[in-house]
């Protein structure tokens, strides 16, 4: 019988105190290394992604838009949606009147599957 070597972790960091979140990650990562596991970590937290991921996949409305090395995708996003997500992060020491918003910049998920998913956008990066 085959053994599963991947453990999906869907938003295990969601709504957690930062200390508890760090403790969970500190427990999870050594297990990954000890047992040679791949971990599919589903999150909206860029800090967690930067801390634990080697590869990243960016999705919108259930569609894969971009994949690649975590630092490459964060430093040079190929898809406008990922670039927009990165603009939403506040930067310490930089004052702005209003934070960047993705509102109304991308298709409504209800119509996303009707040929509008990549209209006028870069092809997804893979690698």
Give the pLDDT confidence of 38-53 residue by residue, as tens digits.
878 888 888 888 888 8
98: its two tokens = 């209003």
pLDDT in tens, 82-126: 988 888 887 788 888 887 777 666 766 666 654 444 433 344 455
58: its two tokens = 């960016």
- Burial category of 104 from C-beta neighbours within 10 Å (exposed 0-12, middle 13-18, buried 19 and up): exposed
d(CA 12, CA 110): 27
pLDDT in tens, 62-86: 889 999 999 999 999 998 889 888 8
Q: Name the strand (E) or helix (H) holding 21.
A: helix 18-35
- pTM metric for this prediction: 0.68
Helix (H, G, I), strand (E, B) or coil at 56: strand
């Amino acid at each position: 019988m085959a053994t599963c070597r991947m453990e999906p972790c869907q938003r295990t960091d969601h709504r957690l105190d930062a200390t508890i979140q760090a403790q969970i990650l500190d427990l999870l990562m050594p297990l990954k290394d000890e047992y040679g596991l791949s971990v599919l970590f589903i999150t909206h937290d860029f800090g967690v992604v930067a801390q634990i991921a080697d590869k990243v996949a960016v999705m919108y409305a259930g569609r894969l838009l971009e994949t690649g090395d975590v630092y490459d995708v964060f430093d040079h996003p190929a898809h406008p949606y990922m670039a927009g997500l990165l603009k939403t992060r506040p930067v310490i020491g930089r004052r702005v009147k209003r934070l960047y918003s993705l509102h109304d910049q991308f298709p409504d998920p209800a119509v996303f599957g009707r040929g509008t998913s990549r209209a006028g956008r870069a092809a997804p990066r893979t690698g």
